Amino acid sequence: MKYASSLQYLPSQISTDTRRLGTGIPWPADKGVDPMPPITTPANESNSNGNELSEDDIYGVLSNRRRRFVIHALKRKQGPVDISELSAHITAWETGKDPDEVEYEDHRSVYSTLKRTHLPNLEENNIVTIDKEENVVRPTPQLESLDIYVEAVSSKEIPWSLYYVGLAGVALTLLLAVTVEAPIFGALKPLEVGIFTVTAFGISSVVHHIIGLRTRLGNREKPPELYQ
């Protein structure tokens, strides 16, 4: 049975729903690995050796932005992609250019890095297959069944988890105020507080779901982190 595992990058630790993976420090950008925003993926996937793709493996794959861009492009294409075309799109996303404006010299280094490092990494984890004769990369069934949500939360924003905690706190405080018949709130009934709570959580859940669809890799023209 598959379950959802939430991988979140924090300055002091990396945590999951099932177990603590350990501590981590933001990787320097000049090493090609950027701090990863919160990502949710199905667990219990298999790597190229037939073993389950562990949460460490998933985190390792998704910790690099270019690999996330590769996954986004393949999930959006839903089929084989020419590696040269793929590198041009990734270059366009990184530079803010239109893909048609990217020249070969612009994406040559990205092309080289993909073939030398990132695509072999994805193939090793049974996420893609590389056809060297046709110079194309193909998604595997494992990638097709993998849903990845990327959400970048700035220091000034409140993550959804804290938002729901705050909303629950407001509802509980309101219920206590009604119970003890505090001034202003004494006229309210517990049933009215219950209706307010259900409505607030219902609307919040719908909004959260809509935003979640926008943060899923492959759903929009550009990777979701470029819209944030």
What are the pLDDT tens digits along the chain (228 aa)?
A: 333 333 433 333 333 333 333 333 333 333 444 544 554 444 444 554 555 567 788 888 888 999 999 999 999 888 899 999 999 999 999 998 888 888 888 898 999 999 999 999 999 988 999 999 899 999 988 887 777 777 666 666 788 888 999 999 999 988 888 888 888 877 888 888 889 999 999 999 999 888 777 777 887 888 888 876
Give the pLDDT score at 60. Answer: 86
Q: Does 103 share its domain with 200? A: no
Q: Does 127 share its domain with 191? A: no
* Any domain includes 59: yes
Any idea how long the chain is? 228
Decide which of 150, 179, 200 is a domain's last residue: 150
Torsion of CA 82, 88, 91, 93, to 10 degrees: -80
Q: Strands of the chain (E only): list them.
A: 4-9, 14-15, 39-42, 45-46, 52-53, 81-82, 128-131, 136-139, 149-150
* Any domain includes 155: no
Q: How far apart are CA 124 and CA 172, in angstroms?
A: 50
Burial state string for 154-175 with b = 16 or more CB within 10 A and e = fewer than 16: eeeeeebeeeeeeeeeebeebb
Q: Does 144 share its domain with 209? A: no
Give the pLDDT score at 71. Answer: 92
Q: Does 107 share its domain with 22? A: yes
* Any domain includes 224: no
Give the pLDDT score at 37. Answer: 52
Structure tokens at 49: 């050796």
* Any domain includes 85: yes
Q: Does 96 share its domain with 181? A: no
* Any domain includes 228: no
**Cβ neighbours of 29 (radius 10 Å):** 10
Give the pLDDT score at 161. Answer: 86
Decide which of 150, 169, 195 is a domain's last residue: 150
Q: Does 165 share its domain with 141? A: no
129 contacts 137 by C-beta, under 8 angstroms: yes
* Any domain includes 94: yes
Give the sheet arrangement for strand 128-131, strand by strand: 81-82, 136-139, 128-131
* Any domain includes 206: yes
Please give the radius of gyration of the chain, using alpha carbons only, rounded to the nearest integer: 22
Q: Does 115 share its domain with 199? A: no
If 0-12 CB within 10 Å is exposed, 13-18 middle and 19+ buried, where does residue 112 land? exposed
Decide which of 124, 150, 176 is a domain's last residue: 150
Query: What pTM was estimated for this model as a whole?
Result: 0.64
Q: Strands of 27-67 (E only): list them.
A: 39-42, 45-46, 52-53
Give the pLDDT score at 9. Answer: 36
227 contacts 215 by C-beta, under 8 angstroms: no
Q: Does 88 share its domain with 46? A: yes
Q: Does 201 share its domain with 135? A: no
Domain count, the chain: 2
Q: Does 34 share its domain with 129? A: yes
With H, G, I as helix, E, B as strand and everything else as coil, classify residue 42.
Answer: strand
Q: Does 120 share its domain with 205? A: no
* Any domain includes 48: yes
Question: 132 is in which domain, residue-wise?
Answer: 4-150
Q: Does 132 share its domain with 176? A: no
**39-42 vs 149-150, strand pairing mode:** antiparallel
DSSP 52: E
